[in-house]
Structure 1
Amino acid sequence: MSDRTTETQITFSHPFQLSPLVKPLAPGTYRIITDEEVIPGIPFIAYRRSSTMLHIPAIGVLGNTEQYISVDPKELEAVRLKDVETH
């Protein structure tokens, strides 16, 4: 079995800040790319997260550059929940 990569999307209604970023990002829908690796030495197939990346800019936003920023999934979820609570 090999490692795997999944892509999801997360939508923010308000500007948000993550610790790796110098300035807040605009509201919008962003791609999240998660890499996982197989956990060796167990009798069934299981994965552990090896990286989580945020794709910048937001989907549908034109920009001169595209970046993938490594983010902490727990921090990302906390920021998402704060955004939802702000409604």
Structure 2
Amino acid sequence: MSIRSQREFVTFKHPFRIRTIERLLPEGTYEVLTDDEMIEGLSFAAYRRVATMIIVPAAHSAAMEMLSISSADLAAAQRVDASASDV
């Protein structure tokens, strides 16, 4: 099984929530890591998302923590942030 990892940076212009994280996160730029695994047995290269993680400030310290989230929840948070900018 072959895994590929990708890293991207996502910017939020307003404080935001992600459904599985039980606190409000401050606006800013966040590192998002995704892991996809290759689907074997096809005549072309295809991948399936197996993990999405975001690096956020820790709740009660100056440290950072990596939390597992769904890509759908991240996309929803980005949509809410973009629509808040339109107001």
TM-score by length of structure 1 reads: 0.86
The residue number in structure 2 matching 1:14 is: 14
Counterpart of 1:20 in 2: which secondary structure?
coil
Which runs of 4 or more aligned residues in structure 1 lie more than 4 Å from their structure 2 counterparts after TM superposition?
Answer: none
C-alpha displacement at 1:72, in angstroms? 1.1
The residue number in structure 1 matching 2:64 is: 66
What RMSD in Å do the two structures reach over aligned CA positions? 1.4
1:1-87 to 2 correspondences below 5 Å: 2-57=2-57, 64-87=62-85
Residues matched between the structures, number? 82
Percent identity among equivalent residues?
Answer: 35
C-alpha displacement at 1:2, in angstroms? 2.6
TM-score by length of structure 2 reads: 0.86
- Equivalent-residue separation in structure 2 for 1:53 and 1:81 (angstroms): 18
